[in-house]
Structure formats: structure tokens, C-alpha cells
Chains A and B, each alone.
Chain A
Amino acid sequence: MNPSILAATTARILTQVRRDRRTVFMILVVPALLTVLFYFTLSLQHAGPDGRTPFDRLGILQLGVLPCAVMFPITAITMRRERSNGTLDRLFATPMTKLELLAGYGSAFSLAAVAQAVIVTLVAFRVTDLHTSGSAVLVAMVCVLNAILGVSLGLFFSAFAQTEFQAVQFAPIVLVPQLFMAGVFIPREQMPGWVQSISDALPLTYAVEALKQISTHTDATPRMWRDMALIGVFIVAALLGGAATLRRKTP
């Protein structure tokens, strides 16, 4: 890994993102706005016997889903564009390696993800009055991990799209089943066994579980750390899969 090539690629991608105002808005502002909207849909509901409002229970979980849902299509489309406009051929004629290219994409969008997580966590706790037993810093950490998960899944799935249009179509296929099975709407233990088994193999499950742990436990639990580590494993696996599907030579 050549640090200078990695830094140049990260800077190049961030410059491109910055030039597109709408993408900047999508990454930094939209998740926070959706959080506020979600808050208002639940604002007339009363707190339960444990003193937690429905927003306390559900609002925190959508923080695990939104960053992934926003970063996935943005990354998939950007990478697809790189593959189709001829610049990928050209980059591979330079000393750059496949891993350096993917790492460049990963680090550029992950930096954007950190900014996104800070904003959405601040809004959730300060503006919409979210209460958790655990620390807001841990919530922000899960947000960042989820956004990076969205980035790595986007890089991986872009390989299976022929066009940018097809890349967008992956978003509902990849995200919605995970959302249904992750235990956001109903605890996983109350789902049929086969659904639970599938959701065991899906990364968003562990994001939701980690957030539930933070929501109800004052201190960081071993289970939460295990969940975060598992999300990390999914991120690495998707990046390696992305590298495997990038080909220097085309048939």
C-alpha cells in the first residue's frame, strides 16, 4: 500500500464529492432531517412503564439503518462510474493497485461517514431528545461503522451492475430485507427459525443489536463489542470481495 497514492485518491474522490452539492446534502443533512421527521411521527405516543418513549426505543435503531442506506447507493454509483468512463482502465495502467483504489474509495467515503455520524448523533440527542442508557459516543461509533458498511457493500455490489441505473436498483434488494429481519419492528426471537437463521448472516442485524445494547445498558457490554467487531468483519469481507471482482484485464 503506497500511502501517497492512497492519499491522492482519497483527496481526489473527496474533491469530486464536494463539487456535487446534492451529494453533500444527501450525506450530511438528509439522515438528520429524516431523524427529526421520524421523531415527529412518534411524538404523540406516551412513554411506557419503563419510562422510555417509543422514539427512545425505535429512534435509536433507525440511526443504525440510515447511514448504511445513504452511503450504499452513493458509493455504488460512484464506483460504477469509475468502471464505465474509462478512467479505471487508465488507473490500472498506472502503478496503482486494486487494493489502493478500493482503500481510496473506502477512506474518502468513510471520512464523509464520520462527519455524517457526528451530525446525526448530535441531532438525535440534542434536537429530538433521544434518551439512551449508554453513551452517545458509542451510538456515534455504531453510526460510523454502519456508514462504512454501506460504503463497502456499495463497492462490492457495483461489480454486479452494468450501469449506474442498475447500481441504484441494488439498494432496495440489499437493504430492505436486512431492515425487515434485523429486529427493528419486532424482536428477532419472535420470528420463525429460518428467518432468524438468515438474519444471523446479515450485517445490519448486528448494528441493530449493538444499538439495542447501548439503549438499555449503562456501560458498554461484551455483546455490543462483539456486534461491532462482526460489522467490522463484514466490512473487510465486502472490501476483499470488491477487490476480487475488480479485474485489471478484461476478456
Chain B
Amino acid sequence: MSIASAPPAIRIDDLRIDRGSHTVIDTISLSVPSGIITGLLGPSGCGKTTLMRALVGAQQITAGSAAVFEQPAGARSLRRRIGYVTQSPSIYPDLTTAENVGYFARLYGVRKDRVREVIDAVGLTSKKSELAGNLSGGQQGRVSLACALVCDPDLLILDEPTVGLDPVLRAELWEQFGALARRGKTLLISSHAMDEARHCAELILMRDGAILAHAAPADIMRRTGCGDLESAFLSLIRDSTDDLSPLRPHVIPEAVS
């Protein structure tokens, strides 16, 4: 399993995205290898969600290109291969867990027993006949995840999937993400919690629509000479702002914890 020789799952070249007069993604290039978990980290508002929406074809691109499995992002042939979970659970509150997952199963044309499989996998077996609207926020997030898993996608794009979950559940979910990666699936998972970075084979650190670093967690720490990712990130931010505005060397990033 040599990752280097396989074509990348995601390839982005000089991508720029403007929303109104505001540049949200500022000319970035990167390639995400397949078969591993890549963490997309950065403070809220740095462009993580916009980048993810561009990859599923929901976001207009201003310049440059984004490709998934060597096809332009949003291409019809990609729709069965990408599972996308938005930040807030996008499910139908007036349908039960099983009805929500079952609906997406029918849209993808997958067999019915797959519904029970994924509901079991996200730990909602006992909640399968309950209306999604009556579930807790964390449980709704897992219904949303189940709806994406039901088509057994090759690439999973998860926008902050572990926000608001208790530590046990978070650990369980990361275990499942790891298992998916071992089965050859590619996962791009955003988070603003640095402690989750250790589950990722590679990290993309974003700030203000730009990429500060893209490497394995150990490499990032080695390069910055920091003992943990939190200080490594701070050091990277300081370096980048030093270049731009030497008069403000100590800009404190918003909510990186």
C-alpha cells in the first residue's frame, strides 16, 4: 500500500472562492491521498466548510479547479462515491431514524438491509423508530452520518462530526473512521478541536482561507519544534503573520481549542 504512487483522492489547483466581495478561499493548491484520514483544522470562519462544499459540487468556484477521483468536483459520476455530512444535521426531523436513512438508501438504490447495518454502526439501534426531531443533538448528528454512510462511499467528507458529543462517543466514532480508512476509504474530516488531530494521518491547517501547513502531525511538530499541535499551530500562525505584518507579531487566533 504505497500511498505515494496511487492517484490522489482530491486534487485542488489554485482554487479561489469569492462570496460576495469577500475571498473565502484564497488560491490554494493541495492533494489529498486516498485511503487515509486527513484532518482539516482551523478556527471557525477560516473556509473549511466552503472548501468542503466545493468538493461536493455545492459551491461555485471563482477560479482554479477542484477534482475528486480525477473528475471535476460535482460531476454526476461522483455522486454515488462521496458521502457528505454537513455541520448541522441535515435530516428530516419529522421522520424516524430508519425512515431518514431508508430514504437516502432508496435515492442511492442500495439494498434495504444496509439501512439497519449503518444504524447499528452509528450506535442508534435503540432509536431507530424514534422521530429524528426528538433525538439529542449528538444523536441527530449520527443519523446524518448514517445517511451518508448508507451508500458505502469511497470518500467521506465530514464537517465537524464530533462537535457536542461526549468523549466516549467521540472515541467510538474516531474508531469507526479509522476502520473505514483501513478498508481503503478516504476521509476528510474538519474539526476545530486540536486534540482530534492525532487520529489523522495527515493534517491540513487552514487560516483565513489559506493553508498554513499540510503534513503528518509528527512532521508539523518537528518542523515547528513544538511538543504539541496546539502550540505548533500557534507558531505557524505567528510565522505567517510575521511575514505579512511585522508590526503585529502576536495575533491571537480565535477559538483554536
Contact = CB atoms under 8 A, between A and B. Distances in A.
Contacts of B74: 248-249
B99 A93 contact: no
A95 B90 contact: no
Contacts of A45: none
A170 B162 CA distance: 39
A19 B93 CA distance: 11
B204 interface: no
A86 interface: yes
Contact of B60 (A94, A95, A250): A250
A87 B58 contact: no
B67 interface: no
A5 to B, nearest CB: 6
A22 to B, nearest CB: 12
B99 A12 contact: yes
Contacts of B106: 4-5, 7-8
B-side interface size class: 20 to 34
A96 B107 contact: yes
A86 to B, nearest CB: 3
B60 A87 contact: no
B27 interface: no
B235 interface: no
B108 A95 contact: yes
A9 B108 CA distance: 12
Interface stretch (B31-39, B75-83, B170-178, B209-217): B75-83
A239 to B, nearest CB: 20
Given A12-B95, A89-B53, A249-B57, A94 B90 contact: no
B97 to A, nearest CB: 13
B147 A90 contact: yes
B211 to A, nearest CB: 23
Contact of A16 (B53, B60, B95): B95
Nearest to B20: A251
A86 B227 CA distance: 39
Contacts of B103: 8-9, 12
B92 A87 contact: yes
A15 B95 CA distance: 8
Given A15-B99, A86-B88, A250-B60, A8 B94 contact: no
Interface residues of A, number: 25
Interface string A169-180: 000000000000
Interface string B16-41: 00010000000000000000000000
Residue from A5, A7, A90, A91 whose CB has the most chain B CB atoms within 10 Å: A90
Nearest to A17: B94
Contacts of A190: none
A14 to B, nearest CB: 11
B59 interface: yes
Given A86-B88, A87-B90, A93 B107 contact: no
Nearest to A87: B90
Contacts of A94: 79, 104, 107-108, 151
Given A248-B74, A249-B58, A249-B74, A5 B107 contact: yes
A92 interface: yes
Contacts of A96: 107
Contacts of B99: 12, 15
A93 B57 CA distance: 7
Interface string B105-119: 011110000000000
Interface in A68-99: 85-87, 89-96
A15 B104 CA distance: 15
B157 to A, nearest CB: 9
B92 A93 contact: no
Interface of B: 19, 53, 56-60, 74, 76, 79-80, 82, 84, 86, 88-92, 94-95, 99, 103-104, 106-109, 131, 147, 151
Interface of A: 4-5, 7-9, 12, 15-16, 19-20, 85-87, 89-96, 248-251
Which 3 A-B pairs have CB atoms at the shortest separation, nearest pair first? Answer: A86-B90, A8-B106, A94-B107
Given A20-B94, A95-B80, A95-B108, 9 more contacts: A5-B106, A8-B106, A12-B92, A87-B90, A87-B91, A90-B90, A92-B57, A93-B58, A250-B59
28 contacts: A4-B106, A4-B109, A8-B106, A12-B92, A12-B99, A16-B92, A19-B94, A86-B86, A86-B88, A89-B53, A89-B58, A89-B86, A90-B86, A90-B90, A92-B57, A93-B56, A93-B79, A94-B79, A94-B107, A95-B79, A95-B80, A95-B108, A96-B107, A248-B58, A249-B58, A249-B59, A249-B60, A250-B58
